Chains A and B, each alone.
Chain A
Amino acid sequence: MFQESELVNLALAVVAVVLLLPLVRREEFRDFFLLFLAFFLLVAALIATVVEGVVLPGFFNTLEHGCYAASGLTFALALRKMTAAPPEGEPGP
């Protein structure tokens, strides 16, 4: 079975996706694609957390942890890019 906190998390994730998904399409957020990808992987992990309580608990548990790991790597990569290449005229990190 799934817990209440997991459902709250899923609800929040759905809200977050609804809020953020339109932004991803906008031109000014194009450079932050990796950041959003990392966030969506987190959401995916939350979904897997909820689903594992219903079906295939082993598989979805593994998927949940895999998504966390992938999300962490994507965050690291996105932030490395954001700090490594500041626009011209601005000081670097």
Chain B
Amino acid sequence: MSLIGIFDLVGMAAFSLAFFWACRLPAGRYGSTARLLLCLSLATYLLVQVSNVLEHMGITDHFDRYEDYLEILVLPIFIFFVFSVENWRELARRRRMEQALQEQADRLAVENGERLRTEAELRQEKERLEQITGMMGAGLAVISRDYRIVWANAVIDEIFGAPLGKPCYQAFNRDEKICADCGARQIFEGESEYVRREVCSRDQEGRRVWSEIIVTPVYDDEGKVSAALEVVIPISERKKAQEEKEQLEAQLRYAQKMEAVGTLAGGIAHDFNNLLYVILGNAEMTALKLPKESGLQHNLSEILTACRRASELVNQILTFSRSTEKERLPLCLAPIIKESLKFLRETLPASIEIREQISSQCGQVLAEVGQIHQLLVNLCTNAAEAMWEKGGILTVSLEEVEERPAANGKNGNWLKLTVADTGVGMDEEVASRMFEPYFSTKERSKGTGLGLATVHGIVETHGGLIKVASKPGRGTRVQVYLPLFARETLEGGGEPIGDEAELRQGEARKVVLVVDDEEAIVRFLAEMLAQAGYEVDAFADSRKAWESFVDKPERYALVITDQTMPGLTGLELAKNILLLRPDLPVILATGHSEETTRELVGEIGIRHFLKKPVSLANLRAVVARVLSPPAGQRKEGA
């Protein structure tokens, strides 16, 4: 086939396809007339091509004569097609619009991307700001002019619980109206541009929260106050520490006052004991001199009873003012508790009955006397306060038990001290906190909240345990377990009393050196010892007594000296005497001296320690015992 034949075949195929696509043109877009004209022109050329192909293939040239006419038709038809397309302009406009829309969409996409980036940056900035403001430890809140919280940081959320949108007085104070001293109001009304003060508000659980707040204005573009910025710095801990400091200071002042009272009481007790000593001694001597059937014996007996009672009271005062004795010793608690209860009886109202169930056969505990007193007094005072209004029964019992008082406690022998009352009792919450320092259900002025905390501390330091049982309206029972130190119980324990020690008249002419700065006591002792058959050198000045002793140290068989004296104290005098005569018995008598303990007296070598006032019989017995040579020596002497 020739090249022209190939061109004709290609042309025929191409025009066939073109005709096919032309028939499928959307009429709505180009107009049905245009489509028809285009189809006609293409069909014409298709026919021309078919004619050419038939001619080249030698089939027929019949159509060749029509070919030129057909071609003449084509061009006008095509021109008509072009001009009949109804909406060229519309198409162009639409294309322009499409382009414009596409550009707009692209621009929007770019802008949207920028907006998204900006939003992400803002979000990050906000998160960073919230993180920073949250880490500041201070709350930040922006309050609008209608007193609503429009922004708050995490600290405010944490304290006041999502207050956004709520009125500030409601969120911060659980109140329904604007606070009288509202800082935001002062800012809005132009009264101030900076408000700073401490406020007490309520947190989301209604608890009191102390804060220091700083309020400053927030201005809008026109320079007007549009909102208030409130900085809330929590200071509850600081306040609590401050209160605790004040309480500690009060406690310190109280302790100092008690120390001063103790010192004063000690001084008074010394003088008072000296007076009692004289009264007691003279009364006893008078009683001895009077016939037994004399009517005055009853009066003297009353004087002696009153003196002994007064002596006990002085001893109690001394016990409670004692502050230096910190050493723990094996103690039998029964007499200490009895003594404490005697004192408590004087101070508690009569409507409270005290019942004692104290076993005197209890073993000893390693304890400090003052702390045991304090423990019992604190427990009993607390129990009594629970019965203050209606009265009741305060039961104090002491017994030795063999048990395991707590799950973590050791099994063994314990001394159980129980203080029970029939007062108002406690619920579980109060009972669980009763030993906390500064926890008190009483008014602030009536209690420091340290009493039971002190009890707890004392029991802990003594290796003991506390058990509490209480029911509201039924009373409370506190059981204190203290570990036993030894099984031995105290036997006797007091000073030897009169009749068991008879004065030996055979030893009567021995010389006794008596020293006391109170002349009445010196006279009384001298008379008492003279009556007993001793020769007495009595001195009201310790330095003169020392001079006399130095002159004739071998003259004396016994020295009885007071402790508290001007010049030489009793201890100093005894030390000096014992340096010259280590074998000489010395009796030290004292009304009260914090420096004097049995241990110290024993270390110096003093034979006996007497606490004033001493009864005549007691003194005579002590003198007789001290002057009696040991059994071995008596045998050798005989």
Contact with B along A51-82 (1 / 0, CB 8 A): 00000000001100110110111011011101
Q: For residue A49, which residue of chain B has the nearest CB? A: B71
Least Cβ–Cβ distance between A24 and chain B, in angstroms: 10
Q: A90 to B400, alpha carbons, bound, how many Å?
A: 108
- Asked if A13 CB lies within 8 Å of chain B CBs, one says yes
Contact of A91 among B14, B26, B94 (CB under 8 A): B26
- Asked if B24 CB lies within 8 Å of chain A CBs, one says yes
Question: Assuming the A-B contacts A3-B68, A87-B98, A93-B25, are A12 and B14 also in contact, with contact meaning beta carbons closer than 8 angstroms in the complex?
Answer: no
Least Cβ–Cβ distance between B336 and chain A, in angstroms: 106
Set of chain A residues within 8 Å of B627, measured between Cβ atoms = none
How big is chain B's contact interface, by range? 35 or more
B92 A28 Cβ-Cβ under 8 A: yes
Contact with B along A24-67 (1 / 0, CB 8 A): 00011101000000110011001000000000000001100110
Set of chain B residues within 8 Å of A43, measured between Cβ atoms = 75
The stretch from B2-10, B150-158, B367-375 touching chain A is B2-10
B residues 165-214 near A (Cβ < 8 Å) are none
Set of chain B residues within 8 Å of A65, measured between Cβ atoms = 3-4, 7-8, 11, 52
Contact of B21 among A15, A69, A79, A86 (CB under 8 A): A79
Least Cβ–Cβ distance between B17 and chain A, in angstroms: 4
Least Cβ–Cβ distance between B93 and chain A, in angstroms: 8
Contact of A66 among B7, B17, B71, B98 (CB under 8 A): B7
Contact with A along B83-110 (1 / 0, CB 8 A): 0000011011011001000000000000
B75 A76 Cβ-Cβ under 8 A: no
A75 B26 Cβ-Cβ under 8 A: no
Set of chain A residues within 8 Å of B89, measured between Cβ atoms = 28
Least Cβ–Cβ distance between A18 and chain B, in angstroms: 10
A75 B18 Cβ-Cβ under 8 A: yes
B residues 62-77 near A (Cβ < 8 Å) are 68-69, 71-72, 74-76
B11 A79 Cβ-Cβ under 8 A: no
Least Cβ–Cβ distance between B552 and chain A, in angstroms: 142
Set of chain A residues within 8 Å of B88, measured between Cβ atoms = 28-29
Question: Which applies to chain A's interface (DSSP): helix, strand, loop or mixed?
Answer: helix
A82 B21 Cβ-Cβ under 8 A: yes
Q: A31-B91, A90-B29 are in contact. List 17 more A-B contacts (CB 8 A).
A: A5-B69, A31-B95, A38-B18, A42-B78, A62-B4, A65-B8, A66-B3, A68-B11, A68-B52, A71-B14, A75-B18, A76-B18, A79-B22, A80-B21, A87-B94, A87-B95, A93-B25
Set of chain B residues within 8 Å of A15, measured between Cβ atoms = 75
Set of chain B residues within 8 Å of A87, measured between Cβ atoms = 29, 91, 94-95, 98
Question: Assuming the A-B contacts A9-B75, A28-B92, are A69 and B98 also in contact, with contact meaning beta carbons closer than 8 angstroms in the complex?
Answer: no
A20 B8 Cβ-Cβ under 8 A: no
- Interface pairs (12), CB distance under 8 Å: A6-B68, A16-B76, A31-B91, A38-B18, A46-B71, A72-B10, A72-B45, A78-B18, A79-B25, A82-B30, A83-B21, A90-B26
Question: Which applies to chain B's interface (DSSP): helix, strand, loop or mixed?
Answer: helix
Set of chain B residues within 8 Å of A92, measured between Cβ atoms = 26
Least Cβ–Cβ distance between A39 and chain B, in angstroms: 6
A68 B21 Cβ-Cβ under 8 A: no
Contact of B8 among A13, A19, A68, A83 (CB under 8 A): A68
Least Cβ–Cβ distance between A5 and chain B, in angstroms: 3
Least Cβ–Cβ distance between B84 and chain A, in angstroms: 13
- Asked if B28 CB lies within 8 Å of chain A CBs, one says yes
Set of chain A residues within 8 Å of B92, measured between Cβ atoms = 27-28
- Asked if A1 CB lies within 8 Å of chain B CBs, one says no
Q: For residue B22, which residue of chain A has the nearest CB? A: A79
Set of chain B residues within 8 Å of A12, measured between Cβ atoms = 72, 75-76
Query: How many A residues touch B, CB cutoff 8 Å?
Result: 44
Least Cβ–Cβ distance between B105 and chain A, in angstroms: 12
Least Cβ–Cβ distance between B632 and chain A, in angstroms: 136
Q: A9 to B8, alpha carbons, bound, how many Å?
A: 20
- Asked if B255 CB lies within 8 Å of chain A CBs, one says no
Q: A83 to B27, alpha carbons, bound, how many Å?
A: 10
From B4, B79, B92, residue with most partner A Cβ within 10 Å: B4
Q: A72 to B47, alpha carbons, bound, how many Å?
A: 12
B42 A75 Cβ-Cβ under 8 A: yes
Q: A83 to B92, alpha carbons, bound, how many Å?
A: 16
Contact of B79 among A20, A71, A83, A91 (CB under 8 A): A20
B71 A5 Cβ-Cβ under 8 A: yes
B79 A16 Cβ-Cβ under 8 A: yes
Q: A27 to B45, alpha carbons, bound, how many Å?
A: 29
- Asked if B49 CB lies within 8 Å of chain A CBs, one says yes
Q: For residue B2, which residue of chain A has the nearest CB? A: A62
Set of chain B residues within 8 Å of A69, measured between Cβ atoms = 7-8, 10-11, 14
Question: Assuming the A-B contacts A72-B10, A76-B17, are A86 and B79 also in contact, with contact meaning beta carbons closer than 8 angstroms in the complex?
Answer: no
Q: A79 to B14, alpha carbons, bound, how many Å?
A: 11
A90 B18 Cβ-Cβ under 8 A: no
Set of chain B residues within 8 Å of A6, measured between Cβ atoms = 68
Q: A20 to B88, alpha carbons, bound, how many Å?
A: 14
B78 A76 Cβ-Cβ under 8 A: no
Contact of A28 among B14, B52, B91 (CB under 8 A): B91
Q: A76 to B74, alpha carbons, bound, how many Å?
A: 16
Q: A66 to B89, alpha carbons, bound, how many Å?
A: 34
Least Cβ–Cβ distance between A86 and chain B, in angstroms: 6
Q: A55 to B367, alpha carbons, bound, how many Å?
A: 146
Set of chain A residues within 8 Å of B26, measured between Cβ atoms = 83, 86, 90-93
